[in-house]
A = this chain, B = another copy of it.
Amino acid sequence: MEKELSSIHYDKYLQLNKILAAQKLRSAEFGTEAHDEMLFIIIHQVYELWFKEIIHDLNSVIAIFKPEVVEESQIGVAISRLDRIAKIQKILVDQIDIIETMTPLDFLDFRNYLLPASGFQSFQFRQLEVSLGLKRDNRISYTQCAYSGVFSQKEQDILNEIEEGDSLFDLVEKWLERIPFLKFETFDFLSEYQIAVDKMIAIEQKAINEAHYITAQEKHFRLQMLNESSKYFKTIFDEELHNEKIANGDLKLSYKATISTLLINLYRDEPILRQPFLFLQKLIDIDELLTTWRNRHAQMVLRTLGQKIGTGGSSGFDYLKKTADKHRIFYDLHNISTLLIPRSELPKMPETLKKKLNFNFSN
């Protein structure tokens, strides 16, 4: 039986007595109150609140992709949740403008009291990265110094547990591997695609060779470009090579999942592939926004601290710039762009398959 309804008060519901009493300025405690320490505390608290919401949404998406059979109706929900995460990330980036109103001189008024704490020490942010799929081995260590013990034992245990379980990356990879349209009756997607790719390259080559209105130099350059392009296709036709690249760390997404991603991107207008396509797009959005956040964060640290090593014991700017490049999680989804071919060259799906991919009602 439900609890009986009672009245609710705005302040109590939001627990503002806790939220608004949690700003204790170290500068006031140890010396003279530094006006800007309030901002420093509040913006970090805001970041942590948003991290909590992101994790809440992310976990719900993970739950949707956990079962062997992902419910059709839930993919739309997952997209909405990822879209919300992206919109929060946009704000996380934009509100760096606020912290940048604190000049380096203002920061010096209380910076000394903060040692050795650091913005890098957010447990929730780490949790977020791990849940998305960032693996320890791909992580750039942010400090060589003695402060490895940033997280408590309990926190480390939680992170380990998440890392050993299924990250969003892992679940999406498995889901992609299960997508059933790669072979259908006589339609073998990969070999049809290979024929199309070969034909496309041959035609382009011929066009360049026969062109009258371009210089010899340009002709040479275009042929070179075409040659470069054709190399990218090699890996997709060679599972062994793909697996080698995974072993080297050049790729992360499994061979089969990569082919499914390609299929979804090429045939995204078929009704049943529309939502999967949008879902993959959102993962790219989130990855890109994470990169943007790291870049802007690095800039802000450079501006506030210059080249000084950060409060976390690392040279903040350089570390953050590196993570922007290396801590990408869904990088392989970007790579699919390299493998796309123009719609005009797309192998036609048999009508029976097209029908399968449409709604019942539309028959």
Contacts and interface: CB of A to CB of B under 8 A. Distances in A.
Contacts of A116: 7-8, 218, 221-222
**Residue among A98, A118, A232, A268 facing the most chain B CB atoms (10 A cut-off):** A98
Contacts of A306: 232, 334-339
Interface in A283-307: 284, 288, 291-292, 295-296, 299, 302-307
Interface string A1-25: 0111111111101111011111110
A51 B249 CA distance: 41
A76 interface: yes
Copies in the complex: 4
Contact of A87 (B11, B97, B210, B360): B97
A228 interface: yes
**Residue among A3, A30, A306 facing the most chain B CB atoms (10 A cut-off):** A306
A175 interface: no
A112 B8 CA distance: 11
A199 interface: no
A117 B13 contact: yes
Contact of A360 (B7, B222, B338, B359): B359
A257 interface: no
A77 B269 contact: yes
Given A8-B114, A268-B105, A2 B23 contact: no
5 contacts: A8-B113, A8-B115, A108-B343, A302-B334, A303-B337
Contact of A31 (B2, B21, B122, B337): B2
Interface stretch (A157-165, A189-197, A270-278): A270-278
B303 A104 contact: no
**Secondary structure of the A contact surface, majority rule:** helix
A292 B303 contact: no
Nearest to A307: B338
A73 B349 CA distance: 14
A39 B84 contact: yes
A136 interface: no
Interface of A: 2-11, 13-16, 18-24, 26, 29-32, 35, 38-39, 41-46, 48-50, 52-53, 56, 60, 72-74, 76-77, 80, 83-84, 87-88, 90-91, 94-95, 97-98, 101, 103-105, 108-109, 112-119, 121-124, 145-147, 150, 180, 204, 207, 210-215, 217-218, 220-222, 224-225, 228-229, 232, 265-266, 268-272, 274-275, 281, 284, 288, 291-292, 295-296, 299, 302-309, 313, 321, 324-325, 334-344, 355-363
Contacts of A22: 14-15, 18-19
Given A7-B214, A274-B275, A313-B225, A24 B15 contact: yes
